[in-house]
């Protein structure tokens, strides 16, 4: 097992799922001709503002930065998004590659970028202390979380502080400040103001029925490039701050495109097809949900569960997430009614804040710039791109899930017989699948599966693992 090559396994998964992890000669020739960051003319100069970014500790493709100030109408928030379109011309080899791939793939042991790292982590990344072209999404957030004054324009920006979720989140929650934050009282005040605006946005969304989940991700622990354990990574105040800002920015972008009367792509989550099962889960816990999907009622139920039984809230949260199903991309034409996003209670929502990582966001930049010009894509092209983005994001999710299983199978290969608390995450013709909660291990239930459904809680014993195939087998205790 010490010679098992996880990166090679991830690359093979990429190919089998329809991705092209390597760049062609034509794409490399185009890349060789790009040596400096794009500096378009006519940009507002906002480089003097105290911009900062917050992302994962190991992130190098920085797509967005933030800045805020208090005004008499509320908190004015600026979200700067890397202007990738300024560097990447439509229909060039690298652009065609990005359109086919549709998304960067985070495989746990390795990141397969949508764009070459020379671009995504350098020339089109909002790196610290570097002047970069950006699309700025501006909004004013009232004390009640209402958004007004939404506008979008191009500007030159400079990231003054590249921060990480772990350090910034711990400080926002009352812990010790990381060095960059501790060294600047201005940065401290800036982050506190951003946090205030984000919390107002959060409260407003949840009054409208947005759902609150206890999301956890598996985090591999390596020792000299060998995986030795799996831990749990949770969200915190800093990750919530960025999430709330990105949701608001994406809503402003969607509204701007709709008001411009142009066809564009939306990110939607439909009403859950398995709503009756969600109703049943609530009934098992002494709660009643309406017979038809209602995100507001569902969130009230989730919040009550979190207050009453915080130790098991992750179980029901995970079950509801699985029953809701994934999101998808669709075309919205002028005059079409918005389909909405069930999970965040947004009526009109798109993806626009991660153009280094998602092609849908890069495409949105082009649609925004062409508001008063001929459309860069026909409705038919937009529909085809939307379908491909949905398919590739689903494939990327499966790659990450499969690689999580391979890493867990490798880390727990010699730990058969251990007992875990688990929740059922899938019931399909080929079997029942469960997820152990601490640490998060997903696998198939090999016996005792009769009568189970998504959301049921149980104790399981680890029977065996197969890292080569990513199999983890459990038995019901």
> What pLDDT sits at residue 453?
92
Instruction: Judge contact between 63 and 246, C-beta under 8 A.
Output: no
Give the number of other CB atoms < 10 A from CB of residue 35. 8
What mean pLDDT is predicted for residues 286-305? 92
Strand 419-428 to 457-466 pairing: antiparallel
Higher pLDDT, 219 or 434: 434
**Would you kindly state where each structural domain of the chain is located, as residue ranges?**
6-256, 275-325, 412-476
CA 390 to chain centre: 14
Q: What are phi and psi of 300, to 5 degrees?
A: -60, -45
Instruction: Judge contact between 7 and 110, C-beta under 8 A.
Output: yes
H helix intervals, 33-102: 93-101
> What pLDDT sits at residue 50?
98
CA 394 to chain centre: 13
Give CA–CA dist 243/181, Å, rounded. Answer: 20
* Residues in contact with 408: Cβ distance below 8 Å, sequence separation at least 6, in sequence order: 218, 230, 439, 441, 442, 465, 472
Q: Which CATH number fits domain 412-476: 1.10.150.530, 2.40.50.140, 3.30.1330.180, 2.40.40.20?
A: 2.40.50.140
Structure confidence by residue, pLDDT tens digits, 334-387: 999 888 898 898 889 999 999 999 999 999 999 999 987 889 999 999 999 999
Structure confidence by residue, pLDDT tens digits, 34-59: 999 998 999 999 999 999 999 998 89
The model's confidence at residue 233, banded by pLDDT at 50, 70 and 90, is: confident
pLDDT at position 1 over 60: no
Measuring CA to CA, how many Å separate 188 from each of 4, 102, 179, 183, 285? 45, 37, 11, 9, 42
Structure confidence by residue, pLDDT tens digits, 416-447: 999 999 999 889 898 999 999 888 889 999 99
**DSSP state letters, 206-223:** HHTT------EEEEEEEE
Structure confidence by residue, pLDDT tens digits, 379-422: 999 999 999 999 999 999 999 999 999 999 999 999 999 999 99
What mean pLDDT is predicted for residues 179-206? 97
């Amino acid at each position: 097992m010490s010679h098992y090559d996880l990166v090679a396994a991830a690359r093979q998964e990429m190919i089998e799922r329809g991705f092209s992890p390597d760049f062609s000669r034509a794409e490399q020739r185009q890349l060789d001709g790009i040596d400096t960051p794009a500096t378009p003319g006519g940009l507002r100069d906002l480089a003097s503002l105290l911009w900062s970014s917050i992302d994962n500790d190991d992130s190098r493709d920085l797509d967005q930065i933030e800045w805020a100030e208090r005004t008499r109408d509320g908190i004015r928030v600026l979200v700067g998004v890397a202007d990738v379109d300024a560097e990447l011309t439509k229909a060039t080899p690298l652009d065609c590659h990005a359109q086919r791939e549709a998304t960067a793939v985070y495989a746990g042991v390795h990141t397969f970028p949508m764009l070459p790292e020379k671009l995504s982590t350098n020339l089109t990344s909002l790196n610290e202390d570097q002047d970069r072209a950006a699309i700025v999404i501006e909004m004013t957030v009232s004390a009640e979380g209402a958004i007004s004054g939404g506008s979008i324009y191009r500007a030159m920006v400079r990231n003054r502080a590249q921060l990480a979720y772990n350090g910034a989140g711990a400080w926002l929650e009352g812990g010790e400040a990381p060095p960059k934050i501790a060294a600047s009282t201005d940065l401290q005040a800036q982050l506190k103001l951003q946090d205030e605006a984000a919390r107002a946005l959060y409260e407003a969304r949840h009054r409208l029925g947005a759902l609150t989940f206890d999301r956890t991700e598996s985090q591999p622990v390596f020792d000299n490039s060998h995986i030795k354990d799996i831990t749990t990574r949770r969200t915190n105040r800093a990750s919530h701050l960025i999430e709330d800002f990105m949701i608001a920015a994406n809503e402003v972008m969607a509204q701007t495109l709709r008001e411009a009367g142009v066809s564009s792509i939306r990110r939607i989550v439909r009403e859950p097809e398995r709503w009756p099962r969600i109703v049943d889960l609530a009934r098992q816990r002494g709660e009643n949900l309406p017979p038809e999907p209602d995100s507001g009622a569902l969130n009230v139920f989730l919040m009550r569960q979190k207050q009453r039984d915080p130790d098991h809230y992750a179980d029901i949260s995970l079950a509801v997430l699985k029953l809701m199903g994934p999101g998808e991309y669709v075309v919205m034409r002028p005059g079409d009614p918005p389909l909405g996003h069930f999970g965040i209670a947004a009526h009109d929502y798109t993806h626009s804040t991660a153009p280094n990582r998602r092609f849908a966001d890069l495409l949105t930049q082009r649609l925004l710039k062409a508001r008063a010009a001929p459309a860069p894509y026909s409705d038919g092209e937009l529909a085809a791109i939307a379908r491909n983005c949905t398919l590739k994001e689903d494939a990327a999710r499966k790659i990450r899930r499969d690689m999580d299983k391979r890493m867990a199978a490798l880390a727990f290969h010699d730990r058969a017989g251990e007992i875990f608390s688990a929740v059922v995450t899938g019931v399909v013709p080929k079997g029942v699948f469960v997820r152990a909660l601490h640490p998060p291990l997903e696998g198939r239930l090999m016996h005792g599966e009769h009568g189970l459904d998504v959301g049921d809680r149980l104790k399981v014993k680890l029977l065996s693992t197969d890292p080569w195939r990513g199999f983890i087998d459990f038995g019901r205790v």
